[in-house]
A and B are shown apart, each in its own frame.
Chain A
Amino acid sequence: MALDEAPASSSPRRAAPSAGLLLTNEFGLIVLILLFGAGFAALAGGFLSPFNLFTLGRTVAVSIVIGLSMMAVIATGGLNLAVGAIGVCAAMACGYAIEVLGMPWPLGVVAGLAVGAALGWVNGWMVVRTGLHSFIITLATMSIFFGAMIFLTRAESYRALPAAFTTIGRAKIGGVVSPLLLVTLVVMLALVYLYRFTALGREMLAAGARPEAAELSGIRVDRIFILCHVLSGFLAAVAAVMMVARNGAAIPSMAGQLGQDWLLPAFLGPVLGGTLLNGGKVSVLGTALGALLVALLTNGLLLLQLGEFWIQSFLGLLLLLAVLIDKSRRSFLARRNLA
């Protein structure tokens, strides 16, 4: 079991360690990343150039956090279709706080993160209060949040942001590494700590795995579900603020119409990484590797000039394939009593 892979409960039966390791999502993803990486390095001109590695890292940094944002809700067995809409609202709030209210940029960032967490709370509260599936609630709030943002901002961008903030998106550490990757690393470590070493994190997973059993154990499941949505909103805001730094502006179109452009990366990372769609198990490292694989494939296919229009279809197929492989893997483990 990977260090960060956090199931709600561990099986009393001990798995054979070597077989267990080889059958993890993380191991499979690492193998695929190495294979594709080597292939692109050999075939795609410019793949190993410092600029390409820098932009790849920067793209991955944001994609990972978007994936983690969705993962936080998938842990409950739910979904957050409003990830992109919350992200854009947070970005615009950050831009508004800095440009219009004249806040120092760190405070503006905090304001954006607070808006993201607050909108996540709205989602969680409505899910718990109505008893409806989060799919329905977040489908509705996706339009509500985005529509309100367009109305309030009149679709105007905020670009008068301090250079100290925007250079974070363009700076290079050692000529290759984006500082945004460090932000992502901090977020990942915080989540690993949360799910692995805190009671709250374990309660989140337990509530997602078996809400009724968790309730009987004294866990306030409703409160935990709301917190998961707050965490998701907060992480969406982190991704959005990173994008503001990358774009040098807070723009309403940064995640597409209704924020839908974030949905595919939001699902691909966690699903490829082994997060269970019915809740109770997350993998922070797996989500990061899943996002890395997707970004790597997109980047490599673009460099190979295989036709830009195929990439989106290819990523959709990859998502479907990952789900099917995961199903086969779990069947295999169950048959051999390794799960």
Chain B
Amino acid sequence: MRHFTRCLMGAALLVSVGSSAHAADDTRVGLVPGGPHPYFAAWDQAAKDAVRDFGLAGADYKVPQKWELTQQNQLLESMLSQGYNGFLIFPGDSVGTVSTVSEIVGNGAPVVTGAGCLKDPSEAAFCLGTDTGNSAYLGTKELLKVLGQGKRIAHFTGFLVDPNTQLRIDAVERAAKEGGATVVQVIADIDAPEPAEEKINAYLAAHAGEIDGIVTTAWVPAVVSANALRKIGDKRIKMVGIDHDEVVLKAIKDGFVSGTMLQNPYGQGYVGAFALDKLRKGCTVKADAPFKSNALTAKFIDSGTIFVGSDKVDTYVDAMRDETKKLLAGFDTTYLTCP
């Protein structure tokens, strides 16, 4: 993770080339996930870099003690009282957070949702996240490239209460059907170490011989599956994971995992802070902005996803940097109307 952070700092420096630093302003951005999770660690560096590159008065990454809507609400309310005036939020609940966001916006602080969206209608300016269905679809396609026709795959994914999970399950199923493969097992509700270890290891102990490939569409199952395949030591089972945990990256280098679908949490934090600053300075969201739609909102911006195999694993930060650069280039002219 430390290596990753260092790389991100370097990446951000490169990204910032060409984006002139603004004069210092009074924008204080709070970046608040729904609870503790390694996926969001990149938001911390993104906040620091946004302060430096965009001349913000401050930007802080604040994590609720646990995944509990009330805790997140209390943290957000206290941050508003402390003078934070722009928020990038991963909603603790796609419906339950709508009211809190409405209250924050009512107090003059714009809100962008990151990595997860609010269910429309909401007062969030837009949602900046991974097109989870597309990422799962592309990841499965990459796996099938390695496996070939007529193979059997298992899918390990996240919490069922997360609306993204069903999208991922459907996307993997669709890609498998198109590629002539069969999804023989879906194990969900395991985006936490204990259930992931228990269920994935138990499944592989009993059924490893019955599958040819694994696709994982959540962080913890990707880590646990990569470790399990390393322990088994048989590289017959091919796997495509998700995200950039060191365990998964090392497993790609060592040939136990074929690749991973990189998301762009850093870009969400960095560009999110940039957009919030613009909104505070009087910019408004364009009525005809080219937003995408997903299951929750019609104001969705894809923060980018990319497949990283063994050929790119050493330069994956460059890939992330490129995604962030793409996202930032012309963001304000594409999505905002500024005075």
Contacts and interface: CB of A to CB of B under 8 A. Distances in A.
Nearest to B63: A308
B95 A261 contact: no
Contact of B65 (A59, A157, A312): A312
A254 B81 contact: no
A309 interface: yes
A166 B99 contact: yes
Contacts of B70: 59, 254, 261
B99 A55 contact: no
A281 interface: no
B294 to A, nearest CB: 17
B96 A261 contact: no
A256 B159 CA distance: 13
Contacts of B62: 308
B80 A51 contact: yes
A261 B80 CA distance: 24
A261 B68 contact: yes
A202 to B, nearest CB: 35
B139 interface: no
Contacts of B100: 247
A254 B151 CA distance: 42
Given A51-B80, A52-B77, A299-B78, A155 B161 contact: yes
A302 interface: yes
B99 A170 contact: yes
A103 interface: no
Contacts of A305: 82
Nearest to B70: A261
Given A308-B64, A312-B65, A157 B82 contact: no
A308 B96 contact: no
Interface string B74-105: 11011011110000000011111011101100
B184 interface: no
A312 B66 contact: yes
Given A59-B74, A155-B160, A308-B64, A51 B81 contact: yes
Contacts of B103: 170
Contacts of A251: 69, 93, 95-96
A337 B81 CA distance: 48
Nearest to B121: A159
A55 B70 CA distance: 12
A256 B68 contact: yes
B119 interface: yes
B202 to A, nearest CB: 21
Contacts of A120: none
A256 B107 CA distance: 28
Interface residues of A, number: 33
Main secondary structure of the interface of A (DSSP, over half): helix
Interface string A308-339: 11011000000000000000000000000000
A246 to B, nearest CB: 7
A261 B65 CA distance: 12
A261 B100 CA distance: 19
A248 interface: yes
B40 to A, nearest CB: 13
A198 interface: no
Contacts of B98: 159, 248-249
A157 B95 contact: yes
Given A52-B81, A155-B160, A254 B69 contact: yes
Contacts of A311: 65
Contacts of B67: 256
A46 interface: yes
B107 A303 contact: no
A171 B65 CA distance: 28
A251 B67 CA distance: 15
Contacts of A7: none
A253 interface: yes
Nearest to B163: A155
B99 to A, nearest CB: 4
Which 9 pairs between the two chains have the least Cβ-Cβ distance?
A248-B99, A46-B81, A52-B81, A302-B78, A157-B95, A55-B77, A251-B96, A247-B96, A249-B95
14 contacts: A51-B77, A51-B107, A52-B77, A52-B81, A55-B81, A59-B74, A246-B99, A247-B69, A247-B100, A251-B95, A253-B92, A253-B96, A256-B68, A312-B66
